[in-house]
Amino acid sequence: MSIRLDENNYGKQRLRLLRLSRRDGWHHIKELTLGIRFEGDFESAHSKGDNRKILPTDTMKNTVYALARQHPIKTAESFCLHLADHFLARNPQTSRVRIDAVETLWTRLPIGDKSHAYTFTGASAERRIASVDATRNEKIIHAGIEGLVVLKATQSAFEGFLRDEYTTLKEARNRILATVISARWLYRDAEPQSDAIWNEVRQTMLETFADHDSQSLQHTLYAMGEAVLHKFGRIREIRLSLPNKHYNLVDLSTFKLDNPDAVFLPTDEPHGLIEATLRKD
């Protein structure tokens, strides 16, 4: 019986970084949590204990901070590209580098009608995400968002669904629709994208969610993805993951009270999960 090493990778995860830069009296911050993975010719390390082709993960960590000092972080994607290029250029035994980034979002503190030059407030659980999958012949850039909580109180229905002997759900013509948007989109090229484009994609998804006459969360997911692909020529596919956060009407009949869609019980578990990828032909 022969045994061979199959898919394998190694790297460093949960690398925390805040990059502060100063321009014209204004302070700018980028806070990232990074993950690094190497794939390549590492069979001898696994089978023979020979570490001559293994770049220590501690070196990967040090490289992140050194490059952050040398290169201002314009976007999460651009910094991921810097890291991938650096590692591929110096490690011939490595055939593929994957860099993942999650950006913690900060907003300038408003003071009257102005934004403060150096004080920020934290956003909610919302995060910007980016990844670069790079070989010496190809680079693939994904961007995205996680943890964007949205709710609309009307213009949402769920009717005409399949029923069997275990179905108890009632049809709803006017219901609360709430979800937490997670989206990843793929760019056609490996050019770094600006913060403005990311913000425009985010706004497009939010406006579509708000204005769409929803017949289901599937229906709204498709409308959001379709709007992004129509508007942005450089995006060739988008994947959306939308949990269906339920708000159940409370039965107040015990107290001889009606409840005309006024009092609801928010529930987190269990919840539905709707996921799909939309691509341009």
Choosing from 12, 82, 139, 245, which is the catalytic residue? 12
- From the list 74, 152, 219, 246, the catalytic residue is 246
Catalytic residue among 33, 57, 135, 204: 57
Query: Is the Cβ–Cβ distance between 31 and 17 less than 8 Å?
Result: yes
What span, in angstroms and rounded, lies between the C-alpha atoms of 15 and 24?
A: 30
Q: 46: left (phi > 0), else alpha (psi -120 to 50), else beta?
A: alpha
Residue for token pair 């001559």: 52
The neighbour count for residue 165, using CB atoms within 10 Å, is: 4
158: left (phi over 0), alpha (psi -120 to 50) or beta: beta
Distance CA 77, CA 14 (A): 17
Q: Residue 102's closest CA among 123, 119, 77, 82?
A: 77
Active site residue 12: yes
Helix, strand, coil: what percent of the chain each, to 5?
25, 45, 30
| SS3 label, residue 202 | helix
Q: Distance between CA atoms of 266 and 271, rounded to whole angstroms?
A: 11
Active site members = 12, 57, 246
